[in-house]
Amino acid sequence: MFKAIWNWIQTFSSPKHFYPMAGRLIPWFAVASLLLMVWGLYLGLFVAPPDYQQGESYRIIYIHVPAAWMSLFVYVVMAVSAAIGLIWQIRLADMVAAASAPIGAAFTFIALVTGALWGKPMWGTYWVWDARLTSELILLFLYLGYMALQSAIEEQRTADKASGLLAIVGVVNIPIIHYSVEWWNTLHQGATVTKFDKPSIDTSMLIPLLLMALAFKLLYAALVLVRARNEALYRDRNRRWVRELIKNLG
Amino acid sequence: MGGYAFYVWTSYGITFAVLLALIVTSIRQRRNVIARVRRALRREALQQNR
């Protein structure tokens, strides 16, 4: 049975077999993401009550927190994929890493900007160099660094090695970001949900938050599959399976 | 939004603008790759016909 599973993994990890499979999954992830987003936004913007301290401004939470969670999640996926690519030379893993980088960078940017727009009315400042904000900004630089290396290095395998190494080394930033609010004195508040305790947020607010988090995850799934397919087509552009496929596209 | 309208709506606006840009660029990336392979195929077909 394990042989069968191993064979399945080996088949699926060839870009040629990954391509059609991913193509079938994308619409499901996209539609599911959209539905959850509509539902989450409806509950978050119209049903959940205002906060007793922050009033209506807290509603930024429904995009700020999911985006921040995604910025971390996508980075870990990217780093693990890069490691798999480096260690086992599985090219699809490098494609997934490269496909993930711009998506993760976008989520990081959203987290930083919505955080700033939340901080101004609540803390009185758009920015402060505390541990949480600074380490999240460094995360953005790591994503951009990955993308820059991919772009700057002509030979694909070398590019993957360099950017992959950056991604793996940068993983140390992830626990730093998460624990920053515990280890240091930060303006950013402590963990409300991601801790080993009951969430200290009301259920009426927690539900839309989790819905949006799931919606963002599904959106990432759809987008990374689209972009990984693009990487596969591009990197294998001289191979028969791509040429046949493009010819059949008409 | 209790006086916070600017901050809340700008946040949502920027978020959805960025997500939309992600979606659009992902689809454009696909079109570009396909066009590029098509061009290469055409070039080779021409060279063979010589």
Q: What percent of chain A stands above pLDDT 90?
A: 84
- Residues A190-204 have a mean pLDDT of 84
Domains of chain A: 19-249 (1.20.120)
Chain A residues within 8 Å of chain B (Cβ atoms): 50, 55-57, 59-60, 63-64, 67, 102-103, 106, 109-110, 113-114, 117-118, 120-121, 219, 223, 226-227, 229-230, 233-234, 237-238, 242-243, 246-247, 249
- Domain-embedded: residue B6: no
Within a domain: B34: yes
- For residue A217, give every residue at least 6 positions away whose Cβ sits within 8 Å of its Cβ, in sequence order, or none: A33, A70, A73
Of A106, A121, A227, the CB nearest to B29: A227
B29 at interface of A, judged by CB pairs closer than 8 A: yes
pLDDT surpasses 70 at A112: yes
Question: Is B50 a domain residue?
Answer: yes
The pLDDT tens digits of the residues spanning A3-23 come to 888 887 777 789 999 999 999
Tokens of A121: 């009315």
Identify the domain containing residue B31 by its residue range.
24-50
Rounded to an integer, the average pLDDT of B2-11 is 90
B8 lies in some domain = no
- What Cα–Cα distance (Å) separates residue A130 from each residue in A160, A210, A226? 33, 26, 36
Task: Name the pLDDT band for B50 (thresholds 50, 70, 90).
Answer: low
pTM of the model: 0.94
| Residue A135 scores a pLDDT above 70 | yes
Number of structural domains found in chain B:
1
Residue A38 is predicted with a pLDDT of 98
Q: Looking at per-residue confidence, does A31 or B2 come out higher?
A: A31
Mutate to test the interface with A, among B8, B24, B36 (most CBs of A within 10 A): B8
Q: Is residue B1 part of a domain?
A: no
Q: Which residues lie closer than 8 Å to A39 by C-beta, 6 or more apart? A: A211
For chain A, say whether B19 makes contact (Cβ under 8 Å). Answer: yes
Average pLDDT for residues A162-175, to the nearest whole number?
A: 98
- In Å, what is the CA distance from A15 to each residue of A103, A235, A239, B22? 20, 10, 11, 23
Query: Is B33 among the domain residues?
Result: yes
B17 falls within a domain:
no
Q: Name the pLDDT band for A197 (thresholds 50, 70, 90).
A: confident
